[in-house]
Amino acid sequence: MESKVTVTSLLKMKQEGKKIVMLTAYDYLYAKIADEAGVDVLLVGDSLAMVVQGKENTLPVTMDEMVYHTEMVARAAKRAMVVGDMPFMSYQASVEEAIRNAGRFLKEGGASSVKVEGGAQVSKLIKALTTVDIPVMAHIGLTPQSIHKLGGFKVQRDEDRLISDALTVEDAGAYSVVLECIPQEVSQKITERLTIPTIGIGAGSGCDGQVLVIHDVLGLFERFVPKFVKQYAQLGKKTRKAISQYVREVQEGVFPSSEHTYK
Ligand code: KIV
């Protein structure tokens, strides 16, 4: 088996020009499949509030729920590195509380690092976490936890602010940064200026890696499909069809047939 992906191997991948593949995962089964398929980084994203829990946005998911899902994913990940996404209000109130919560991802969840949203405003926090040996993936551009301040899921175009945020989080000690919903030209500039790897979502092909939500990749999340999403399968439609057939066959007495019956 190939050795486990680490923060240092991700940096090496950037240096060697190898693209980093990141995907979200929320449970053992899908994490195992993604790990076996060669995904480098499994992000237990707070997007689970939307795609698993059916909430309107990412704000309601709790620390306990995130740790619960992270533990399942970490148990499945043999090669991929597992990142726990710090949920809304788990790191904003104080640095001390943030350190305790980030520590839970590593201690109880089995993750190797955490992700926090924000640029300059979380630089002190990134420094504090790295000081206690908790590696941090930063996340700038469209930060879904700020949806009420940003006024919706919109492309972020303030180039000077984006570049300055990227440089600040690198300087603070982040080992990588997610660039969400920003123009390709800007993400390309950021990627060239940073030593740490950039992972894009809706940020074009110039990043060092890409991340998508697994429910989007598999066509399972049907409420809306952002422009940057490519559906590699239509599992929503396929699942509906399979379950409808099961319903029909039970109702009509077709299932179970003798093939599925003990003699
Ligand atoms: O929560 C999440 O899934 C994320 C990624 C989409 C970057 O933050």
Listed by start position, the domains of the chain span 7-232, 234-263
Find the mean pLDDT for residues 3-11: 97
* Cβ-based neighbour number of residue 146 at 10 Å: 14
Task: Please name the residue whose Cα sits nearest to atom 8 of ligand 1.
Answer: 45
* Measured distance CA(196)–CA(208) in Å, rounded: 9
pLDDT band per the 50, 70, 90 thresholds, residue 28: very high
What is the number of residues in the chain? 263
Mutate to test the pocket of ligand 1, among 41, 178, 221 (most ligand atoms within 8 A of CB): 178
Closest CA to 91 of 123, 48, 133: 123
Find the mean pLDDT for residues 188-194: 98
Active site (catalytic) residues: 180
> Does pLDDT of 186 surpass 70?
yes
Q: What is the share, in percent, of the chain residues with pLDDT greater than 70? A: 100
* Measured distance CA(25)–CA(33) in Å, rounded: 10
Distance, CA 179 to ligand 1 centroid (Å)?
10
pLDDT at position 97? 98
Task: Please name the residue whose Cα sits nearest to atom 4 of ligand 1.
Answer: 45
Mutate to test the pocket of ligand 1, among 21, 47, 176, 215 (most ligand atoms within 8 A of CB): 47
The string of pLDDT tens digits covering residues 10-19 is 999 999 999 9
pLDDT at position 83? 99
CATH assignment of 7-232? 3.20.20.60
The string of pLDDT tens digits covering residues 121-180 is 999 999 999 999 999 999 999 999 999 999 988 999 999 999 999 999 999 999 999 999
* Measured distance CA(244)–CA(255) in Å, rounded: 13
Distance, CA 139 to ligand 1 centroid (Å)?
9
Task: Please name the residue whose Cα sits nearest to atom 1 of ligand 1.
Answer: 45
Closest CA to 181 of 148, 206, 203, 205: 203
**Helix/strand/coil (H/E/C) assignment for every residue in 114-169:** EEEEECHHHHHHHHHHHHCCCCEEEEEECCHHHHHHHCCCCCCCCHHHHHHHHHHH
> Do the bridges between strand 209-212 and strand 113-117 make them parallel or antiparallel, or are there none, so unpaired?
unpaired
The string of pLDDT tens digits covering residues 70-129 is 999 999 999 999 999 999 999 999 999 999 999 999 999 999 999 999 999 999 999 999
In order of 28, 186, 202, the CA distances from 183 in angstroms are 34, 6, 8
Q: Say which amino acid occupies 256.
A: P
**pTM, to two decimals:** 0.97
Give the list of residues 6+ apart from residue 175 with CB closer than 8 angstroms, or none.
Answer: 7, 10, 11, 113, 135, 136, 137, 196
